[in-house]
Amino acid sequence: MEKFEKLSGIAAPMPLVNIDTDMIIPKVFLKSIARTGFGKNLFDEMRYNRDGTEIEDFVLNKPAYREAQILVAGDNFGCGSSREHAPWALADFGIKAVVSTSFADIFYNNCFKNGILPIVLPQEAVDVLMQDAEKGANARMDIDLEAQTVTTSDGESFAFEVDAFKKHCLMNGLDDIDLTLEKAAAIDTFEAAAAQARPWV
Amino acid sequence: MSPKTLYDKIWDAHVAHEADDGTCLLYIDRHLVHEVTSPQAFEGLRLTGRSVRAPDKTIAVPDHNVPTTLDRAKGIENEESRIQVEALDKNAKDFGVHYYPVSDVRQGIVHIVGPEQGWTLPGMTVVCGDSHTATHGAFGALAHGIGTSEVEHVLATQTLIQSKSKNMKVEITGKLKPGVTAKDITLAVIGETGTAGGTGYVIEYCGEAIRDLSMEGRMTVCNMAIEGGARAGLIAPDETTYAYVKGRPHAPKGAQWEAALNWWKTLYTDEDAVFDKVVTLKAEDIEPVVTWGTSPEDVLPITGVVPDPASFKGGKVDAAKRALEYMGLTAGQKLTDIQIDTVFIGSCTNGRIEDLRAAAAILKGKKIKDGMRAMIVPGSGLVRAQAEEEGLADIFKEAGFEWRLAGCSMCLAMNPDQLAEGERCAATSNRNFEGRQGYKGRTHLVSPAMAAAAAITGHLTDVREMM
Ligand code: SF4
């Protein structure tokens, strides 16, 4: 997995609340058995007309945001289906961080497995960042994972919380399975004890 | 010992390792697998030369993509869907996990097959690459959806890296009124808490109205815990639970049954245990409900009117405007005036035998409205067989419903069962998102009885008028 330390990028504003994973990547694109190539269909129904032409008003189609690496989004981003295709599509498009007041649980976890940093901030902070994002390509937002801060183009800075373990894995690009297999002995011990205690499982 | 919640007890019984920062490796008792979210995970195992750690605790079944038409034995037309199902066939075989292929009568929606076969038991940890894994919480099992990277992690290690959620109690006091069902309870709760109200929590549902529910009803309630944002929903096991589980193919037998029962009886929230959040609803206050918008929190009693977006706050104002435009509705319109052209009864929310009985009770001796497209998709091959035996299938067919084979079908419309642009559906599934049932399709979530009533009248209908 790619490491995430610092990011300076264009942020796209998506103030809509409850953006669900069906919007992020509609199910017609879930039929692939690969992990890559979903970026072109990110937000497909909001982004393209049925004939495949782009919908001009959609934020990521506007010249200022085509290279966006950050999304500033409304409440409860990523709700709905557990599909990891959602973060795959975001990552494939080039999004590396999403800021919102809240994220759906499974989506939040899925982000970390794919090098994307989801940042939870209070409403007032998200409002300021949303305004900053509205300035477009002239304004770059800075994210420092080590320091746990997001900084607007005007230099206003907000601190965010992140689980220490998830931060460690993201900063070092670590693979979860490798880390867990280092604890194989603990799993063996647990499994043996559980088989005694609950043999019907 | 300090008092514990049900969630605390199941959690504590499954921690295989705890790091200094509190991050835990949670041992997983049952891993359910379907064709859409697993191919990349199995591929990951192959690429790294890893195997499935506990194939005997891993159960796979194709459901999302499978055709539900009666001619499905001739194969899946859509090439990509076929490739996914074939990939699952192969992965199940190569890695030696339990498997119910499309041709097996026990095949069905993964969350219906698990409990039906006795794979889901009280006190277990259950995961699946599917958000509605919450369904299994009805047994007092800690069950939740995971992403594909986590599917691979569980396949390889039989554990999940987790930090503990907070405890939330949702209590439904008193008795439900006639015509009000488990589906109305679960929608009413989401209407109350919002779709993010449960974020960061595991919900325990309790109270008289929950205790009174059958296992089918409890599964309906827990199924939609995820729509309320919770990691999982739980209901403490009791006699209803044991009676449902007993005798199922993979349930414990003999002395093992007794041992299991002894442990299951300890699975309840201790009297003085503290919840971080409590929501209480009176069962008598719950009406048959429908959704008017494009989020499961957009819930109103069927007697209500379409709300004015200006009546909301913050980002919800724009979301409501967008929802009304998408749904083709105007503020102030009576919900019972909303005309529908499609009815879908099925899904892991409402595709069990009791749901079909509820629909049949309304449909008996009646015909659906002219021009209505109506389908019933049983949740599993066994539910289908039972409905045929009970004569329900005849009632559906005589009423004008299509009587399908088991699968997810129009719940998410990955197979050919889809809404066309602008079509409006009364659905017993769990998501009314934009495009969920087909591009620009419009979904109103309801209970099976309400869906049946709407099929007859051609508009959203208060089922109590037909009882
Ligand atoms: S029935 Fe619907 S919600 Fe349930 S597993 Fe299938 S697609 Fe998901």
> Over the stretch A73-102, which tens digit does the pLDDT of each residue have?
999 999 999 999 999 999 999 999 999 999
How far is residue A149's CA from residue A157's CA, in Å, rounded to a whole number? 6
pLDDT score, position B312: 95
Q: Which of A23, A174, A2 lies closest to A91, judged by CA? A: A2
**Beta-carbon pairs below 8 A across chains A and B:** 185
> Which of B81, B111, B383 has the most ligand 1 atoms within 8 A of CB, as the residue to mutate?
B111
Is some CB atom of chain A closer than 8 A to the CB atom of B23?
A: yes
How far is residue B460's CA from residue A95's CA, in Å, rounded to a whole number? 41
CA B40 from chain center: how many Å? 24
How far is residue A38's CA from residue A95's CA, in Å, rounded to a whole number? 12
CA B424 from chain center: how many Å? 21
Helix, strand, or coil here: B314?
Answer: coil
Is some CB atom of chain B closer than 8 A to the CB atom of A114?
A: yes
pLDDT score, position B239: 98
Of A30, A102, A198, Cβ closest to residue B414: A30
Is some CB atom of chain B closer than 8 A to the CB atom of A109?
A: yes
Is some CB atom of chain A closer than 8 A to the CB atom of B266?
A: no
How far is residue B227's CA from residue A20's CA, in Å, rounded to a whole number? 11
Read off the tokens for B244: 């449902």
pLDDT score, position A138: 86
Is some CB atom of chain A closer than 8 A to the CB atom of B35?
A: no
Read off the tokens for A69: 């690496």
Of A22, A102, A199, Cβ closest to residue B433: A22
> Over the stretch A5-25, which tens digit does the pLDDT of each residue have?
999 999 999 999 999 999 999
Read off the tokens for B363: 């449909």
Angle CA(B395)–CA(B399)–CA(B405) in degrees, nearest 5? 65
Of B40, B260, B297, Cβ closest to residue A35: B40
349-408 in B: which are within 8 Å (CB) of A? none
- Which stretches within B5-135 are classed as H helix? 6-12, 39-48, 79-95, 110-116
DSSP state of B176: P
pLDDT score, position A31: 87
Percent pLDDT > 70 in chain A is 100
How far is residue B2's CA from residue B272's CA, in Å, rounded to a whole number? 9
Asked if the Cβ–Cβ distance from B121 to A201 is below 8 Å, we say yes
Which residue CA neighbors atom 4 of ligand 1 most closely?
A: B348
Strands B125-128 and B30-33: parallel
> Which of B36, B227, B430, B437 has the most ligand 1 atoms within 8 A of CB, as the residue to mutate?
B430
Give residues with Cβ within 8 angstroms of B135, minimum separation 6: B111, B115, B143, B219, B222, B223, B348
Q: Ligand 1 — pocket residues by CB below 6 A?
A: B 63-64, 109, 111, 130, 132, 347-348, 408, 411-412, 429-430
According to DSSP, the residues that pair with A43 across neighbouring strands are none
Q: Decide if B161 contacts B25 (C-beta within 8 A).
A: yes
Read off the tokens for B348: 């892991």
Give residues with Cβ within 8 angstroms of B354, minimum separation 6: B214, B216, B217
Asked if the Cβ–Cβ distance from A84 to B148 is below 8 Å, we say yes
Q: Where are the beta strands (DSSP E) in B73-153?
A: 98-99, 125-128, 142-145
DSSP state of B66: -
In chain B, residues with a C-beta closer than 8 Å to the C-beta of A113 are: 147, 149-150
Q: What is the pLDDT along chain B (467 residues), one digit of tens a residue?
A: 799 999 999 999 999 999 988 899 999 999 999 999 999 999 999 999 999 999 999 999 999 999 999 999 899 998 989 999 999 999 999 999 999 999 999 999 999 999 999 999 999 999 999 999 999 999 999 999 999 999 999 999 999 999 999 999 999 999 999 999 999 999 999 999 999 999 999 999 999 999 999 999 999 999 999 999 999 999 999 999 999 999 999 999 999 999 999 999 999 999 999 999 999 999 999 999 999 999 999 999 999 999 999 999 988 999 999 999 999 999 999 999 999 999 999 999 999 999 999 999 999 999 999 999 999 999 999 999 999 999 999 999 999 999 999 999 999 888 888 999 999 999 999 999 999 999 999 999 999 999 999 999 999 999 999 98
Read off the tokens for B13: 């019984």
Q: Which atom of ligand 1 is nearest to the CA of B63?
A: 6
What is A18-82 written as a DSSP string? --BHHHHS-GGGTT-SSSS--GGGTTHHHHB-TTS-B-TTSGGGSGGGTT--EEEE-SSBTBS--
Q: How far is A138 from chain B (nearest CA, A)?
A: 26
Q: Which of B8, B85, B24 lies closest to B415, judged by CA? A: B85
Q: Which of A167, A14, A162, A143 lies closest to A90, judged by CA? A: A14
Q: How far is the CA of B77 from the centre of ligand 1 (A)?
A: 21
How far is residue A165's CA from residue A150's CA, in Å, rounded to a whole number? 20
Q: Which of A199, A8, A38 lies closest to A114, judged by CA? A: A38
Q: What is the CA radius of gyration of chain B?
A: 21
Q: Cα–Cα distances in Å, from B331 out to A18, B309, B432, B433?
A: 21, 8, 18, 19
Give residues with Cβ within 8 angstroms of B54, minimum separation 6: B31, B158
Is some CB atom of chain B closer than 8 A to the CB atom of A180?
A: yes
Q: Decide if A38 contacts A23 (C-beta within 8 A).
A: no
Q: Decide if B407 contacts B377 (C-beta within 8 A).
A: yes
Is some CB atom of chain A closer than 8 A to the CB atom of B152?
A: yes
Q: Cα–Cα distances in Å, from B255 out to A197, B138, B240, B258?
A: 13, 24, 20, 5
CB atoms near residue A16 (< 10 Å): 17
Q: Is residue B343 exposed (0-12), middle (13-18) or buried (19+ Cβ within 10 Å)?
A: buried
Q: Is residue B366 exposed (0-12), middle (13-18) or buried (19+ Cβ within 10 Å)?
A: middle
Nearest CA in chain B to A28: B414
Q: Cα–Cα distances in Å, from B336 out to B291, B303, B332, B462, B465?
A: 12, 7, 12, 7, 12
> Over the stretch A149-201, which tens digit does the pLDDT of each residue have?
999 999 999 999 999 999 999 999 998 999 999 999 999 999 999 999 999 99
pLDDT score, position B414: 84
Is some CB atom of chain A closer than 8 A to the CB atom of B89?
A: no
In chain B, residues with a C-beta closer than 8 Å to the C-beta of A81 are: 130-131, 412, 431
How far is residue B413's CA from residue B297's CA, in Å, rounded to a whole number? 21
pLDDT score, position B22: 87
